[in-house]
Structure 1
């Protein structure tokens, strides 16, 4: 079994550390205390690491040796019951060069939650340290007035729910409100953020439309209104990061699959264009990661959303590479960078069900 961390409860302590970006610039430096206050109102204690507010590093909060040391210390400390990452970023790969995942394998498991660049820790925590982790919002995400994402994240942390429905609406990348006239902004110095802005809820502008593919007589076909279901261990994260882990000393996927062969791959992309998504998935397939997969759960891509790049789009970037595997592919799910984000327990066995535009993830271990 992949280790499930102990659920937390009011009175426990949550650590905030910055193995990627720290909350050193606005609005993140302003959101940090609001987020901490919202969590403290639930009865939790907060411990901030020295890295949490730093910003003197390149692509991360500070020196990667310092980041790695603090992350290890927070994970091993008995007085910290869960960890929330301070933010995403660019070069957390350098932080994990200073993390001993074999040592963490022998430590009592605790929840770690973060996404994007935090894939660098979440993924090997599952595949090397044999410990589940949450692919979900970083600390600044908890500054807003809480909606489904924040409530569901704490439902996982507290162990109060095992079945999660997807969210009906989202913020479509690049879509503007046509009812508002565009106004030319006049720069008069740095923007002054108000608490009302920082606590603002999601400005939804589109209805979710899931796109699912199943095996048909002549290859993959769109599922239309039929039910799509798959069962296995959820594994993945940000594709931008996963393709860089592939082939390094942190790539223990083949060893992991010997014990856990039934994998549902969970991918989402941040800065990758359609061609880059296709190349990345090809790389993982050729490396043997995807052999025997039970299916694919794909989040809405941020930069590649609705792009057409010489005939390559967000859909055939995936189906063109793994469509011949004959397993279900569910796309445009609310996982990752396009709000709202459905938190996912990586390393957990789950049943994923889609019918039309209804998505459900039920954990079964």
Structure 2
């Protein structure tokens, strides 16, 4: 059985940086996020790592893990949200106290998705892939981003429905933030490898594919053990998003995932919008999706609301989901069972 944390009103958020911290010249972003989220009724306990950054990490692997472990054990903290992602969270995995992880939400994406997936696979505890803390610093959040609170407040055996966004952000404009931070200018349109309505169901697993692929073959990426011990024969829906991989590198990674058994008992795959979709001698990311869909004989949705091209839905690793898409729009119904 999956263990689902519950977000209560007035919860205290633990802020720690298991990947990258915030350099001094950007401390104002973190302070703005604190003010904005406090107005919504939350409290904060902030660790040292959130305020430091050197050599692509907030602190040593051991210090990052120790601070995270302490927050996970603390009864004063009900939710952990890192400032943002980074590059080298993988260094901390061997020091994370998976044996004593308490049932509390961890929310984030990018490099943080490595930690989220590892925790769910090893412990059966649900984790939340969605907004980071810094992107909550606006006066308010757009409708898609704002759903994180509702999703994390869902109780056992209840369901929560999310809809595809109306518009998405084509490029980051840090010097021109809107009241909800993002510049949502482009029409959202979910696409598919099949020319028909798509409806898939299964347990959600995923994250940034650039990062989570490094769990393959490690004790932290045992998908088969997770299936046998926590989801009682249910199929899996993978939600993935590509930050920097070329079509050929993406293809190699997906084949590796297939050979490692990650796509066995898989009912469908979804890919978030990507900020990088180059063509390699006429080989496109759409070709990659179509090849994989044909090989696995499953539908693949892409350009969904997930990842580095905001806004993004809140996906719960381990939750039972029904994903539907038709005519460019989509819904994700997650049930905490």
Q: Secondary structure at the match of 2:243?
A: coil
Query: Could you tell me whether the CA contact under 8 Å between 2:37 and 2:137 is conserved in 1?
Result: no
TM-score norm. by structure 1 comes to 0.85
1:154 is matched with 149
Q: Secondary structure at the match of 1:152?
A: helix
2:39 is matched with 41
Q: Secondary structure at the match of 1:315?
A: helix
1:252 is matched with 222
Alignment of 1:67-82 (within 5 A): 67-82=64-79
Select the residue among 95, 111, 115 that pairs with 2:109: 115
Select the residue among 119, 126, 133 that pairs with 2:120: 126
In structure 2, the CA distance between the partners of 1:282 and 1:25, relative to structure 1 (3 Å rule), is farther
1:180 is matched with none
In structure 2, the CA distance between the partners of 1:99 and 1:343, relative to structure 1 (3 Å rule), is same
Q: Secondary structure at the match of 1:85?
A: coil
Report the aligned-residue RMSD: 2.0
Instruction: Report whether the alignment pairs 1:290 with 2:263.
Output: yes
2:326 is matched with 355
Query: Could you tell me whether the CA contact under 8 Å between 1:263 and 1:293 is conserved in 2?
Result: yes
1:262 is matched with 235
In structure 2, the CA distance between the partners of 1:281 and 1:173, relative to structure 1 (3 Å rule), is farther
**2:51 & 2:191 partners in 1: Cα distance?**
40
Instruction: Report whether the alignment pairs 1:135 with 2:118.
Output: no
1:16 is matched with 15
Q: Structure 2: give runs of 5+ residues left out of the alignment.
A: none
**1:120 & 1:335 partners in 2: Cα distance?**
15
Count residues in correspondence: 329
1:165 is matched with 163
Superposed displacement of residue 202, structure 1: 2.2
Alignment of 1:183-202 (within 5 A): 197=177, 199=179, 201-202=181-182
The list of structure 1 runs, each at least 4 consecutive aligned residues, that deviate by more than 3 angstroms after superposition, is 196-201
**1:149 & 1:141 partners in 2: Cα distance?**
13
Q: Secondary structure at the match of 1:163?
A: strand
Considering only CA atoms, is the larger Rg found in Structure 1 or Structure 2?
1
2:3 is matched with 3
1:179 is matched with none
**1:31 & 1:84 partners in 2: Cα distance?**
14
Superposed displacement of residue 206, structure 1: 1.7
Select the residue among 56, 77, 83 that pairs with 1:86: 83
Superposed displacement of residue 112, structure 1: 0.3
In structure 2, the CA distance between the partners of 1:144 and 1:24, relative to structure 1 (3 Å rule), is same
Q: Secondary structure at the match of 2:162?
A: strand
Instruction: Report whether the alignment pairs 1:238 with 2:233.
Output: no
In structure 2, the CA distance between the partners of 1:338 and 1:317, relative to structure 1 (3 Å rule), is same
Instruction: Report whether the alignment pairs 1:206 with 2:157.
Output: no
**2:25 & 2:283 partners in 1: Cα distance?**
37
1:342 is matched with 313
**1:254 & 1:162 partners in 2: Cα distance?**
27
Q: Secondary structure at the match of 1:97?
A: helix
Alignment of 1:309-328 (within 5 A): 309-328=280-299
